[in-house]
Amino acid sequence: MMVAALVITTLVSGVLASFLLKAREKDFAYEKTSLESHNTNEELRVLSCAYGVRHARGAISLVSALSGSRGASDPFTPLLMHLVPLPKKRKSELMYHEHDEDGGNANGDDEFGTNEGLEINDSIDSFAKDSKILIQQVKLVTQMLNMHEEICNATEDLRVSIVFLPFHKHQRIDGKTTNDGELFRQMNRNVLRHGPCSIGIFVDRNITGFQQPHGFDSVQHVATLFFGGPDDREALALCRWLANNTLIHLTVIQFVSEESKAETPVGNAMTRDNNEVFMEVLGRNQTEQETDRSFLEEFYNRFVTTGQVGFIEKLVSNGPHTLTILREIGEMYSLFVVGKSTGDCPMTVRMKDWEECPELGTVGDFLASSLDVNASVLVVQRQRHSHDSFIDD
């Protein structure tokens, strides 16, 4: 009777525990998957991926920019994931762990990517010493075929709001661009396709482009390009953290079609005495254009009217006109932040004729491939997918 009672109790308790966990699953789920709805006084968790020390240094520059000014009270948790692809001839093996305080890993196994791992550790330690900002490290060792799936799993485990991936091309010391391989490009595409949070592809022109802001003599000029749509709003939302960094001079450039019939410019939006936007409640059925305007007005009244951020409006007629403007401003900034998709936008018509990397979007692809642009480029895609099956289209 005692054995029977023990077996029954074990079975019942297991079923009951499983039922309770499923019932509370939503309570433990991380829902901060869109920066647009993320308040800057809430914790921002970002995950930067790096194959080697070159990518890690670019990621550190982004972390430095997003961390704001020294002494800022806004919670910010940066993480860096060292990606180590396994050779095809080896049996698929996954090692995903956090580093201990001494720079080694918690499992005591540092067989893969040892040299790059040590250099990455040195770069992060040096940054932490100078900035007092701790970057948590993790390592992912798996075959390239499965890497995108493991990164997507990690975004939920680590509860991050945005993942930064390195572009599959890099700038050489002579300024020219080298392709690192189609496997790296396909991995980025897969993460963009299945990622459960927002994603940024960082085109790091480390020689001529964005540098880590570390002193008042090295203020970085950054521009975010706003055409409209969810991805552009997400890119602008990310820039709210850049706006709080005194070493970043941020400018919002809004592209407006000559065919549009906007009643009043965003800069003329009515505001209350407390600088909050005064606008009518549009309801759930508001159009995409109305959502763009509401978000842009809110950003304008919070940052532009206070002098923290610059604002420029560009009136354009078509895609070639947009290209002309992008070439004109190509050397004025060290970093461009832009949304991936602009939809069926008359301001980018015919720009796809020169498209090389569709995963960057029309505008991002031009900025990344144009010889007239020396700046780094951060292309942002808003979260589009829940965590479901990983099936390549």
| SS3 annotation, 144-172 | HHHHHHHHHHHHHHCCCCEEEEECCEEEC
Task: Say whether both 165 and 268 belong to one domain.
Answer: no
Task: Say whether both 269 and 197 belong to one domain.
Answer: no
Per-residue pLDDT of 205-231, as tens digits, reads 888 889 887 665 678 999 999 999 999
Task: Say whether both 40 and 163 belong to one domain.
Answer: yes
pLDDT for res 326: 93
Task: Say whether both 169 and 248 belong to one domain.
Answer: no
Q: CA 257, CA 345: separation in Å to the nearest integer?
A: 9
More confident residue, 347 or 80: 80
Per-residue pLDDT of 356-379, as tens digits, reads 888 999 999 999 988 888 899 999
Q: CA 74, CA 346: separation in Å to the nearest integer?
A: 39
Task: Say whether both 46 and 68 belong to one domain.
Answer: yes
* Structural domain span for residue 290: 216-381
> What are the distances in angstroms from CA 25 to CA 20, 350, 365, 384?
8, 47, 39, 21
DSSP 271: B
Task: Say whether both 158 and 231 belong to one domain.
Answer: no
Task: Say whether both 263 and 120 belong to one domain.
Answer: no
Task: Say whether both 196 and 261 belong to one domain.
Answer: no
pLDDT for res 313: 94
More confident residue, 329 or 178: 329
Question: Do the domain assignments include residue 23?
Answer: no
Question: Do the domain assignments include residue 1?
Answer: no
Task: Say whether both 199 and 329 belong to one domain.
Answer: no
Task: Say whether both 228 and 344 belong to one domain.
Answer: yes
Q: How many domains does the chain have?
A: 2
pLDDT tier at 301 (50, 70, 90 boundaries)? very high
Task: Say whether both 196 and 224 belong to one domain.
Answer: no
| Longest Cα–Cα distance in the chain | 85
pTM of the model: 0.81
